[in-house]
Amino acid sequence: MERLFKLNQLGTDVKTEVLAGFTTFLTMAYIVVVNPAILSAAGVPFDQVFVATVISAVIGTLIMALFSNYPIAIAPGMGMNAYFTSVVVTQGVSYQVVFGAVLLAGLIFLLLTFTKLRELLIESIPAPLKYGITAGIGFFIAFIGLKMSGIVVDNPDTLVALGDFREPNTVLSIIGLFISLILTTRKVKGALFIGMFITAVIGYFTGMLHLDGFASAPPAPVFFDLDLAGVFSNGLFGVVFAFLLVTIFDTTGTMIGVAEQAGLMKNGKLPRAKSALAADAVATVAGASLGTTPSSAYVESSAGVAAGGRSGLTSLVVAILFLITLFFSPLVAAISSLSAITAPSLIIVGSYMIEGLAKVKWQEFDEAFPAFLVVLSMPLTSSIATGIAVGFITYPILKIVKGKGREVHPILYVFCIIFLIQLIFFPAH
C-alpha cells in the first residue's frame, strides 16, 4: 500500500489517509441524495440516477486514486444537475436527448484532455468570465434551493415572492438551513451531511419523512438509449458547450486549488494532469450512459487534504465508501422525497461558489459588466448556457470599444459570433 501510493515520499501514512478519505466523503456525501432529487424532477427514474451517481463517482475517483495518485474525489457536479432539469423543462426535449448532450460533451472533453486545445481554451477565456460563470451557477442552484424549500415561490405579477412560512416543508427547510449554517460556521467536518441527517430525523418524528426501509440489494444499473440524434435535430449545441465549458473550468480550477493546498504542484504545474483530467471525462461518459450529469473534481476534497490526505489512498477510501452507499437506496430515496432536507445544502453550496467575484476588477467597467451579466442572467433565465453566451458576447465588444481589442484572444471573437447567431436565430424557449 505504501509503495503503491508513495506514502513515505509524500510524508503520510495509512491511518492519516483513511481518516482523510472519510472526511472528504462526509463533506460530499450529500450529492448521493441531492443529485437524484434534482434529476428525478426532469422525469429520470430515481434508482437510475442514484446508481449512476454512485458508479460515476466510483469510476472517476478510482482512476484519480490509481493513475494520478491525488487525494481528489470525483462525482457528478452541482449546478449541472439543476441546469439539466431546466433544459428538459424549458426546451421541451426528453431527458434522453439531454443525456445525449452530456455524453457528447464528455467525449469531447476526453479528446481535449489529450491535446493542447484544452489548455488553449482555458487560457483564452478571461478571468472575469470564469469567475462570473462559477458564481452564476452558484446563484442558480441557490435559487433552486430557495424554490424547493418554499422560501421563494412563483408570483404572476412579480415573477417571484416570499413564501408562506407556516407551511410545514418551509418551516423544516428553514430549521435545516440554520442547523447547517451553524455547523458550517463552527467548521464541523461534514457539516452539510450532518445537517441533512438532523433535518431528516426531525422530519421523521414530525411525520413528514416516511421510511419503508434502510438497506436493500443495490438497484441494477441500466444502460438506456441515448438520443444523440436529438441533440442535433433540436440544435442543443449551446447546451453541449455549456456542459463542456463548465466541466473544464470547474475540474481544472478545483484540481489546481486542491493540489496547491496539498503541496503537490511542481513549478506551478500539475504533474500527471492528463490522467487526472481523464478521470473526470471517463466518469462523465460513464455517468451519461447510466443516467447522470457531468462529473467534476470536488472542492470538498480540500477537507480531506486539511485532515492530512496527500495521496490516492484518500481517494480510494472515498470510492469504497461511495460503493457502500449502493446498499442504502431505500433510505436515500426517502430522504430525497422530502425537499426540506436537500434544499438547505443547495443554498449553502451556492454561497461557496461566488467566492471568485471578489477577484473581479469591479472598478473597471469593461471587466466587471460581462461578469455581472453572466451572474444576473443565469438564475433569471434558468440557463447556464445563456449566461455563458451573454458573457462571451459582451466581453470582446466592450474591450473593442475600450480600445483593448488586441488583449482579447482570437478564439473569443469566434465564440462571440457563434453565440450571437445562436441567440438570434436559435434561442432557447
The model's pTM is 0.79
Q: Between 46 and 120, whose confidence is greater?
A: 46
CB 356 within 8 A of CB 130: yes
Q: Between 377 and 121, whose confidence is greater?
A: 377
The mean of the pLDDT values for the chain is 89
Q: What is the pLDDT of residues 84-129, one digit of tens each?
A: 998 887 888 999 999 999 999 999 989 988 887 766 776 778 889 9
Q: With 70 as the cut, is the pLDDT of residue 428 above it?
A: no
Q: What is the arithmetic mean of pLDDT over 340-361?
A: 88
Q: What is the pLDDT of residues 157-195, one digit of tens each?
A: 998 999 999 999 999 999 999 999 999 999 887 788 889
Q: With 70 as the cut, is the pLDDT of residue 268 above it?
A: no
CB 346 within 8 A of CB 34: yes
